[in-house]
A and B are shown apart, each in its own frame.
Chain A
């Protein structure tokens, strides 16, 4: 199988796997226990905390381990809105945020908060000036660093500058960016930043919320005094250990790996334009992740392309199709103004550490076939799209 769905999840790195295996074998105690075994478990967690902090240029004390991107986004958005409630009950989310952020917004809306949605342009890029017109009772602005579907990188630093100038805090979902582009919490200016282990070679089920020193936050999952009192529950020690090692490896290889992926992405896009001349690459004119190509193949519905590519051993993502078969245009593409008939023909190809130049070439051959077959279906007798 040619796996081009690394934005959904990427294979666990060998180093992370080995560290986790050792941890599962040797570290059994609860990190909160005071005896020697407990202290060794605590040390493993703290080593990982430092590794994760280094990936995003944060202090270890700013790292809160939790279960992943969705929990991180909920904890940041809801927890910050609660902590800042005296100033106002309004938060602003970009229109292209991950479902996890919009989900947190729904929780707040249910509690009577007002939710603002910040638009993007046709390249999927947010205009930072939209911050300037937000109502003054807005306490939090949420903007992702890289969009998961298009890979478009957002102007988080400029948004943070404008938001801070108006007394607003900034949450940045960096789940898709971490390990693919350099992240510097200080340079970004974000108050809250979320990353997830399984997008960068760690295991599923563990992530981190980075809370910048001094940024107010109320805890959602309360219990004992875990994670500076911000996240109750015994730590997922082996997961955290794997996360730490994966973060360290990703940081070390980031420069060379992103250059390698960028060359592959350019070849992939060039090939797509050559085998499907009317293909439309979304976000083509915006700065993007080096691994992601989201394109529409007019007349070839994405659910059909997905089936055809799967049969040719190429695994990709159809932003438009969900497991229940419904073909709905992606809200991200809709926010970019992509017409519905084009949006339902979109595929996301996302590369990663295991992707090779040969796989890119073979993908192009399969894609050419899949597009032809999917388009051919509409001329088959008696069948309409």
Chain B
């Protein structure tokens, strides 16, 4: 392997720290960089929060141990406009956003890619669990990690196809225990740091509380009706930001059978609930797709899709639409299709593309062709965050 000049994104966590350290150990010229995304001021919310000054110190500790330079890059403005604001707007619009994908798209594989030129970097490295493979025709493909339980390819599906060639994922072939073992072997103090499980900027998982307390958000916080599918009022909800499609817990509704959130409707300020089987949909429609292949696949291409971060892949066919989006038809109906989450399409281990889910299909009409007439307003700015069915 020839020596590369590598820009290594370091969040302060174990994975990105070990990834950068492994590259340095292999003899590459590494420059570490930590994006300062979100400032908590002087009182870190939680030791797990990945954007605190402690995290910067942890990243710098790796750089000091391995003897490479580390910089902190202030990215609060980009984070606010490209990730945080869409996150708020999505919740207010009744969607369940997936901000990690936006952060990867605009910050780690957007802002940092533009910084590669600064240092004349050949490659950009992160600690994501995913792989990049060069195909026989010389093009690059994004693949799932070898360790399927840690695979993060879903969160990477919106990164620009053009950057794949320059990206390195040193952990793509490792499992988590091997990563920690490398961290220990290399003497990195963060080797046994706890895993961050939630959004870095809402480490306690209380999204609604974060939005209202920290950001002064008032949209979506007014109480309103729980309705059944026939429009009958079953009770009062606490504000639509507290609910997501597929949620069962915390509704406080008594019924003969368990009730689930079927839809969040900001126009009526209503949360529609119903039985579990009513959550099933035969397909979905997406916003414009970020294809991670040379050209969009032909109509009816057989794929596997994931419609949220930990969704077991489901067989489906994909039908690209004239507006750049896609209609995805499941082989068997899938539960809790959630607007705002990503639909990521796989061919085996390879990510073909990903897009924000706009809506579930209630029935399957004739398969769309390229001249398919658009039914919905396309809103390419709305992208998303993992559904947390019970939050």
Contact = CB atoms under 8 A, between A and B. Distances in A.
A370 B118 contact: yes
B135 interface: no
A303 B120 CA distance: 16
Given A324-B36, A383-B110, A383-B111, A303 B71 contact: yes
A373 interface: yes
B119 A376 contact: no
Contact of B36 (A306, A325, A374): A325
B73 interface: yes
A383 B75 CA distance: 10
A324 B31 contact: no
A381 B110 contact: yes
B56 A324 contact: yes
Contacts of B120: 311-312, 373
A214 interface: no
A106 to B, nearest CB: 17
Contacts of B362: none
A297 to B, nearest CB: 13
B242 interface: no
B78 A304 contact: no
A139 B10 CA distance: 51
A310 interface: yes
B152 interface: no
Interface string A370-385: 1001101100111110
Given A304-B118, A370-B118, A310 B31 contact: yes
A221 to B, nearest CB: 28
Interface string B95-115: 000000000001000110111
B69 interface: yes
Contacts of B31: 307, 310-311
Nearest to B111: A383
Contacts of A304: 115, 118
B236 to A, nearest CB: 42
A311 B53 CA distance: 24
Nearest to A327: B74
Interface residues of B, number: 27
Interface string B78-99: 1001100000000000000000
Contact of A325 (B34, B114, B115): B34
A310 to B, nearest CB: 6
Interface in A223-259: none
Interface string A104-132: 00000000000000000000000000000
Interface in A325-384: 325-327, 370, 373-374, 376-377, 380-384
A187 interface: no
Interface centre among A311, A377, A381 (most CB of B within 10 A): A311
A306 B53 contact: no
B168 interface: no
B78 A383 contact: yes
A254 B93 CA distance: 70
Contacts of B347: none
B118 A323 contact: no
A140 interface: no
A209 B131 CA distance: 60
B302 interface: no
A347 to B, nearest CB: 14
Contacts of A376: 117
Contacts of A373: 117-118, 120
Nearest to A323: B72
A352 to B, nearest CB: 21
Interface string A291-334: 00000000000011011101110000000000111110000000
A307 B5 contact: no
Contact of A377 (B72, B117, B121): B117
Main secondary structure of the interface of B (DSSP, over half): helix
Interface in B186-218: none
A377 B74 contact: no
Contacts of B113: 380
Given A383-B110, A383-B111, A325 B74 contact: yes
B74 A311 contact: no
A125 to B, nearest CB: 32
Contacts of A380: 113-114, 117
Interface centre among B82, B113, B114 (most CB of A within 10 A): B114
B77 interface: yes
A374 B116 CA distance: 10
Contact of A311 (B56, B77, B118): B118
B195 to A, nearest CB: 25
A329 to B, nearest CB: 13
B71 A306 contact: yes
A377 B116 CA distance: 9
Contacts of A311: 5, 31, 118-121
Nearest to A376: B117
Contacts of B34: 325
A365 to B, nearest CB: 13
Given A311-B5, A377-B115, A303 B110 contact: no
Given A311-B120, A323-B72, A324-B56, A382 B115 contact: no
A327 to B, nearest CB: 6
A325 B73 contact: yes
B110 A377 contact: no
A381 to B, nearest CB: 7
A2 to B, nearest CB: 15
Contacts of A325: 34, 36, 56, 71-74
A377 B71 contact: no
Interface centre among A325, A327, A370 (most CB of B within 10 A): A325
Given A306-B71, A381-B114, 20 more contacts: A303-B73, A308-B119, A310-B69, A310-B71, A310-B119, A311-B120, A324-B72, A325-B56, A325-B71, A325-B72, A325-B73, A325-B74, A326-B36, A370-B118, A373-B117, A373-B118, A380-B113, A383-B110, A383-B111, A384-B81
9 contacts: A303-B74, A306-B71, A307-B31, A307-B118, A310-B31, A310-B71, A376-B117, A380-B114, A384-B78
Interface of A: 303-304, 306-308, 310-312, 323-327, 370, 373-374, 376-377, 380-384
